[in-house]
Amino acid sequence: MAGYDLEKMLVVGVASSALFDLSAADAVFKKDGEDRYREYQEEHIAEPLKPGVAFAFIQRLLSLNDLSEDGHPLVEVIVLSRNDPETGLRVMRSIAHHGLGISRAIFMQGRSPYAYMGALNMSLFLSQNERDVRVALEMGFAAGQVVGTPAADSNGSDLRIAFDFDGVLADDSSERVMQSDGLPAFHAHETEHLEEPLPEGRLSEFLRGVNRIQDIEERRSAAEASYNRRVHVAIVTARNAPSHERVIRTLQSWGVRVNDAFFLGGIEKAKVLRVLKPHIFFDDQLKHLQEAADEVPSVHVPFGVINEAKDT
């Protein structure tokens, strides 16, 4: 019997802390310890957990499986949890209650399972645990810490994803120029290296997987004039002219694409994000996420020179 093949799927790992609001249970753990925490989870096992920051993103991502052209899933989401199997029962019951198409999980008591990302072909891991996220990034995986609030809109089938560019989709080599030499030098550097694609960052492979689903939508749209594309991808970056062109040339060289690009040049990202209303926004600078944290479910990718400076 052949195994369940993840190689052609977009695979995302999500910690229970990113998928659900575990604040009440966490408060019990911090106040009274692990034994009381286990009792609390058992006492409330029939009480479904409320949606967390990544819930709407995961829900809508899984809904794209109905676009499959051959009956095989396009998206697989696997729970990666520090809970032990017993306390994880409430998480799995909550998944069933909310009708999420998640049936696979790894529960490792007190330890993070991010080391299994490679074995499971994951292109993204979301968690509320900053330490786990940082170590996963150091290991070369794509990971982010959820911040902000769950998406407000519960209806609809579209999925809006927004990315910062440097330190998220691309590496931080240009950002290092910015931090060391300032904005004029940054623009001069990007103009000089216009035709030189930037190296891929941690989340480029995730975007590539999203693009594969968008390819299916393109074919569907060509066959059905009334079909409305459900997946929308945007870049929201502090870059502006003349450094904008290298972004576009780099994406072309990677063979990936986005639907929209916002080159804001110092304009507060929150102003745009509140209009765009992404179901998830990825940025390597926490300050950009905090500005819109009251409305936008976001992910901090603590990668690169900006986050190295934070540690020192």
Active site residue 84: no
- Say how far apart CA 61 and CA 10 lie, in whole Å: 10
Q: How is residue 257 written in tokens?
A: 């694409």
Residue 56: both structure tokens together: 């709407």
Q: Side chain identity at 103, as an amino acid letter?
A: S
Q: Is the peptide bond before 297 cis (omega within 30 degrees of 0)?
A: no
For residue 162, the surrounding DSSP H or E stretch is strand 159-163
Q: CA–CA separation, 85 vs 99, rounded Å?
A: 20
CA distance 5 to 47: 34
Distance CA 119, CA 266 (A): 40
Location of structure tokens 């209009």: 275
Residues 64 and 243: their CA atoms lie apart, in Å, by 34
Euclidean distance between CA atoms 140 and 246, whole angstroms: 24
Given the residues 21, 66, 164, 294, the one annotated as active site: 164
CA 205 – CA 139 distance, rounded (Å): 15
Would you name the residues annotated as active-site residues? 164
